[in-house]
Amino acid sequence: MRSPTNPRLILLTAAACLTASLAFAQATEQKPFEPSVGQAGKDVVWVPTPQALVNKMLDMAKVTPADFLMDLGSGDGRTVITAAKRGLKAMGVEYNPDMVALSIKNAAAAGVSDKASFVKADIFETDFSKATVITLFLLPDLNLRLRPKILEMAPGTRIVANSFRMEAWEPDQTETVSDDCVSWCTALLWIVPATFTPLTVVPAGAMTASCAAIYRALLVFWGSFTSVRAS
């Protein structure tokens, strides 16, 4: 004999199953990534540069739309996005893929995806030689590891760092922000210098006619100068 079916019991059972399924889905659903100050990174923990200092760093570098800026360790993308808002192409190099995804999202929200780009990469394995402006917020030992590559960049390239120095390489300019900044409020600017090679002595036989003429004129001048001194 078939047992009678209770519609109310079936309905309650179905509702209980649906509620349990929804609760399980909510529990297992991945929350959107949110960065936290001090979170561990590959080489440093993440601490964002205050926006007021970002503005000062770009001011010190005198960025223009003709520049190409690269931010080494770009975090949430704020420096790159701020630069893009000023009209220049900018790229962030960041090792944490979640931070890269967040930066891309932030750039889209700011309407600068056409000028701001981000790559997941190791800053020590990245070619940044094409940049005309480099920004960074790294510890001194990391700055020193980057310094040899920085000094190989084109003369006139601007390097702007938050707070930390490069040992014996003295900054060309230092500025501290007091408004809207509580910590990490000092920006340092370096200009990559031209590299000079020692003068080469040219053999006399290889001297061009014009050089020889200049050389003879200098001899004449020196001779007249010494005779005047002797008199």
Are 84 and 65 within 8 A, CB to CB? no
Low-confidence ranges of the chain (pLDDT < 50): 24-25, 27-28, 196-202, 207, 222, 224-231
Domain ranges of the chain: 51-191
Looking at residue 5, its pLDDT comes to 57
pTM over 0.95: no
Looking at residue 15, its pLDDT comes to 56
Token readout for 89 is 């192409």
Token readout for 171 is 């900054």
Half-sphere exposure of 217 (CA within 13 A, CB side): 6
Nearest partner of 35 among 64, 3, 76, judged by Cα: 76
Please give the full DSSP string across 179-228, using - where no structure is assigned.
TT-SSS-EEEEEEPPPP-PPPPPPPGGG--HHHHHHHHHHHHHHHHHHHH
Superfamily of domain 51-191: Vaccinia Virus protein VP39 (3.40.50.150)
Are 92 and 71 within 8 A, CB to CB? yes
| Cα 219 from Cα 229, distance rounded (Å) | 15
Looking at residue 28, its pLDDT comes to 46
